[in-house]
Structure formats: C-alpha cells, structure tokens
A and B are shown apart, each in its own frame.
Chain A
Amino acid sequence: MFAPLVAPHDPRQQDLVNRVQPPAWSDGGDWSFPLGTDGLGRDVLSRLIYGARVSIFVGLAVLVVAGLAGVLLGLLAGYRGGRTDRVIMRIVDTQVAFPGLLIAILMASLIGPSIRTVVIVLAINGWMIYARMTRGVVLSVKETDYVEAAEIIGCKARRVMWRHILPNLAAPITTLAVIEFARIVLAEAALSFLGVGVKRTDISWGLDVASGQDQIFNSWWLVVMPGILISLTVLSVSLVASWLRVIADPQEREKRFAATQIRRGARDDG
C-alpha cells in the first residue's frame, strides 16, 4: 500500500543506460539504485517493494475467500452432522487429493495468468484446511454442556452456531490463518516463477526470480534479493504464529513463572 511512497523509482521505468548495475555496495553500483538494476534497467529495490504489494494482496485475498468458504462449510458439516457432514467431507477429501499444480496450469491456460487467477487457484487449493479444522472444533464444542444448555433454553440453530460455537474458533483459526498466509506468499511466488501465476507484465517476486535465473552468475542480485525477501516474509510470519501459540497456552507460562519463584528460594520454615 505504501509502495508508491516508499519506492525510490517507478518499478516499470526502464533505464537502459543504467542496466545491469550491481547493488550499491559492490563496485559499479551506486546508491541511486541501492539493490542494483535488472537487464532492462529497472530498479530492483523498487520492484521488490511493489512486489510486496502483490504478495500481501494475494495472501489476504486468498485468506478471506478460502477462509470464509472453508469455515462456512466446516460449520455446516460439524453442526448438522449426518449426511451433510459425509457429503462435505467427501468433497474435502477429493479436493485434497487433487494435484494443485494441475489446477493452476489449467486455470492459467483457460483464463490466462493474472493476479485474479492466482487468487482463484490458491483459494480452490486452500479452503479444505479451514473446513477440516472448523469441523473439528465444532464437533468437540457441540458436545459441551453449555451448547446443550443453549439448545434447551430454546436457541435456534443459527444463534447456537454464532454465539456459542463460533467464538471457540477464533484462536485456532487465527493461528491457522497466519501460517496459511506465509504458505500462500510462497505459493504465489512459486506459481509466478513457473509462469502460471501473475501476468508477465505484473510485478511479483516470483517473476523476478524467474527472469533473473538465466543471469544468476553474472547478476546474482536479481535472483538473490527477491529470494531473500520471500524467505524473510515466510520466516517472520511463522515466528509470529509460534509466538501466538505460546502466549495462548496459560499452563506453560505458569510453570515458567513458578520455576523462577522457587529458584529465588521461597520457603516457609519454622
């Protein structure tokens, strides 16, 4: 979102005079193009910053679409049970077995590669995990006394799902969403690298890696820079997910606290 403000150059602007310049700290480079330029003179740093836009957008879009669809279907399957459950779960199983790459290639050839294509493909591939998890949570919460109490006092099904069952979903879904975000960023980069993701004229880290791979020995920065950014993004998001999981477990925190107290020598003698 802030890319236009942050990026020093227009990522599409070609500057053939300055083409194939190495990053600023190597010889031949200068600070107006801090991370160097590519074969067409486009500034690498700016491309990276604009590329982030695409990654984040795709990540969020897929989260929303796949997440909503998956959670809804998982809710239905878990709460209704019986045939609804069996049918939905069979669909889930079938889709999980279907090779995602094939779908990507199919879509790309049908409607052409673009950001929209990527989002559709990744959503189709990604909703099942939300469905399975939601269904699991619903099944276990459904058996609790307070859900039964809600039904006995006369709550309609919708209210039971919304007020009593759904809030239990917040924590596990958040953790899942964070992990999925990282995975989607990686997936988008991979698809774009393979040419079945975004349009060739769009900007994406995957695309950058793809176009730079031929010159990896001469202009290493064209591949390494986007690569580092992809890894950094995935790593930091995974760390956030781990941290979320730890702070959500009160027992571990208590144990650690107690250990320090005892070490300080709390005693009651006499």
Chain B
Amino acid sequence: MGEQLLEVDKLQVRFFTRRGAVHAVRDVSFGIGRGETVGLVGESGSGKSVTSQAIMGLIELPGSITGGDVRWKGQSLVRGPTAVADMKRVRGNEISMVFQDPMTSLNPVFTIGSQLTEVTRRHLGYSRKQARARALELLDLVEMSNPRQRLDQYPSELSGGMRQRVLIAMALSCEPELLIADEPTTALDVTIQAQILELLAELQERLGLSVLLITHDLGVVAGTCDRVCVMYGGRLAEVGPIDDIFETPAHPYSQGLLRSTPRVDEVMSRLVSIDGAPPDLVAPPIGCPFAARCGVFSDRCLNELPELAPIEEGRSVACWHPFTAT
C-alpha cells in the first residue's frame, strides 16, 4: 500500500446547538496511501461529509473539532502551533476538494477564467499570463470543449457537467496529491455522471492522484474505489478492500445497505429495507449505534460500543457479531 499520505486519527467533531451538542463524528480513524482511491460511504447523518470538511479545515461555528488529529505527511493540520498555517498552505495546494453542487460552488459573477487563475496566482505566485496558460492546460486536462471560449464565459452559461469539470480543473491546478470529492456526481444526470467518473479515473491514473470519494451511491463506489470505509451514526462500521466489502459484507449495516439497493441489472423480488431511522447524535446510544435497527443484535451490542477491530488482512469491522465469509 505504500506510505500513508493522510492519516485521520480518532477524530471527533461536535456541533453545539441549543438542543444539545450533536456528536457528528465519533472516533474516526483511517488512512489514505499514495495513488489510492478510498470511498467514504454513508447516508445522511453518518458523518461522512463532516469528516471530509474536518480534513480540509472547513468546520465552522457552530461546529468544532473536539478531539483527535488529522495528519498530512506526518504533520498535524489540527494541533500544534503551526497547524493553522500548515492547513492554509496545504489546502487547495496539496489537498484539494471538489464539492457536490457545481451550481453553488462557482461564483456567478466571475468568469471561469478568473476563478481558475485565482488558485495558481494565490498559491504558486503565477503571473496573469502564466496562470491563464495553466488554466487552458487544465481545461484540456478535463476534456472541456472549446477551452479558449470557456475562459471568458460565466458559470451560468455552462451546463452542470461542464461546471463540474471546471471545479475539477480548479482542484487540480496546483497539482495536488490528494483530491477529496464530496458527492461530486450526485447532482448530475446519469450519462454525465458516467463521463465525470471516467474522467476522474483517467486523471487519477495519469497524475498519480489519491482520491477520497464521499458518496451514498454504492454503484459509484463499486466502480471507482480500491478501499471502502462505511460510516454509520458518526462512526466507522467497516473498512476494507472493495471486492470484500461488496461480496462478503461483515457489518450488518453494510449488508442491509447492499440488500436495500435496487439494481439496474437484476430484478429483486422485494427490496429488503432497514427498519427504523438513524440515531439522534445529540444523545448517541451507549452501545453500537446500529443496534436498534440490527437484525442480529444482542445485549452486548446495546451496552458496549464496539471498536473497529481487524478480522482479516486489511479488513476491520466495528461489530460484536460480524458476518464471516463462508
């Protein structure tokens, strides 16, 4: 697997509201190596987006990182006297991010060109000419049609897919080593999604990028990731190589998720749904967060919080009764 570029270590994030403190991320630890694509899968309330925001230092009031660490190439981005400065240096430069909604991520009053050149001018000190040349390069890289024209157009003149390409171009402008993509294709049409995912795969190979892909779409994960982290109730439920997780899911939640997903290539007689709803993270349950909805829970599950423990080489599960491969 090689060296770990990014290490998330026992991360805790809380949002302080009058109703109580929402413990959105509870003790999450994982790593991303060079050239790896790691998927962070979960539904709303699982904590996956908050985790990615914490890595990029984007947690704002009323939220705050209340524990744990995020390390980039060994250096902490959260703790210590140089953390803030390091985060600023790294963000947009060595680690960059692509968000879900291209409609709102681009500033409507600036041209594509000015938004693209801003990054290189700020982080790498490029002159206007250099930055513009680089911008054209990037638009080529993301296979944008008519790149010269696009530089002078405004976001409203582009379609959703094109805007997402621009966002990817912006994210790549300083040649980052890690790209964090938070639901990058959720707002796009299916055929456009396929284009963008294909593009991401190509870019990754060509540039040796590591990617952290956050999504709720199991199909997207299946087509792009090497490893998967499944999150539920603010914690990691299961981590492992992609084939293993999809073929022999160990955590009951992963299994439930797969069983309740309708597929385009097969007919399922009846979708097996997971009863109930995600837990309230203001007062998270003492034991396993999934216990109340789990088909195989026991008393231990209700009272003891299972930690992420290895079950095989490269696989770990946070469950007292994980399924084992037959």
Contacts and interface: CB of A to CB of B under 8 A. Distances in A.
Chain A–chain B contact at Cβ < 8 A: yes
Interface of A: 253-255, 257-259, 261-262, 266-270
B319 to A, nearest CB: 22
Given A254-B18, A258-B15, A261-B16, A269 B67 contact: yes
A270 B62 CA distance: 22
Interface in B1-47: 12, 14-18, 21, 23
B21 A266 contact: yes
29 contacts: A254-B18, A254-B62, A255-B61, A257-B16, A257-B18, A257-B62, A258-B16, A258-B17, A258-B61, A258-B62, A258-B63, A258-B64, A259-B62, A261-B16, A262-B61, A262-B64, A266-B14, A266-B16, A266-B64, A266-B66, A267-B66, A268-B12, A268-B14, A268-B67, A269-B12, A269-B66, A269-B67, A269-B68, A270-B67
B17 A257 contact: yes
A269 B12 CA distance: 8
Given A255-B61, A266-B14, A261 B66 contact: no
A167 B15 CA distance: 31
Contacts of A268: 12, 14, 23, 66-67
Given A255-B61, A255-B62, A261 B21 contact: yes
Interface centre among A257, A268, A269, A270 (most CB of B within 10 A): A268
Interface in B62-79: 62-64, 66-68
B22 to A, nearest CB: 10
Contacts of B64: 258, 262, 266
A270 B14 CA distance: 15
A259 B61 contact: yes
B230 to A, nearest CB: 22
Nearest to B18: A257
Interface string B62-102: 11101110000000000000000000000000000000000
Contacts of A255: 61-62
Nearest to A258: B62
B67 A254 contact: no
Contacts of A269: 12, 66-68
Interface string B184-202: 0000000000000000000
Contacts of A266: 14, 16, 21, 64, 66
Nearest to A264: B16
A211 to B, nearest CB: 54
A27 B252 CA distance: 90
A60 to B, nearest CB: 36
A225 B112 CA distance: 61
A257 B23 CA distance: 16
A255 B18 CA distance: 10
B244 to A, nearest CB: 31
B27 to A, nearest CB: 8
Contacts of A258: 15-17, 61-64
A267 B61 contact: no
Contacts of B63: 258
Contact of B67 (A257, A259, A262, A267): A267
Nearest to B25: A268
Nearest to B15: A258
Interface centre among A257, A258, A266 (most CB of B within 10 A): A258
Nearest to B67: A268
Contacts of B14: 266, 268
Nearest to B27: A268
A255 B62 CA distance: 5
A257 B12 CA distance: 20
Q: Across chains A and B, which 6 residue pairs bring their CB atoms closest together, nearest first?
A: A258-B62, A258-B16, A268-B67, A261-B16, A268-B12, A268-B66
Given A261-B21, A262-B64, A269-B68, 20 more contacts: A253-B18, A254-B18, A255-B61, A257-B62, A258-B15, A258-B16, A258-B17, A258-B61, A258-B62, A258-B63, A259-B61, A259-B62, A262-B61, A266-B14, A266-B16, A266-B21, A266-B64, A266-B66, A269-B66, A269-B67
A266 B14 CA distance: 9
Interface centre among A257, A259, A261 (most CB of B within 10 A): A261
Nearest to A250: B18
Nearest to B19: A254
A253 to B, nearest CB: 8
B130 to A, nearest CB: 40
A182 to B, nearest CB: 32
Contacts of A267: 66-67
A254 B19 CA distance: 10
Contacts of B23: 268
B129 to A, nearest CB: 42
A255 B64 CA distance: 12
A266 B63 CA distance: 11
Contacts of B17: 254, 257-258
A267 B78 CA distance: 13
Nearest to A265: B66
A259 B61 CA distance: 7
Contacts of B66: 266-269
A261 B67 CA distance: 15
Nearest to A251: B62
Contacts of B18: 253-254, 257
Contacts of A261: 16, 21
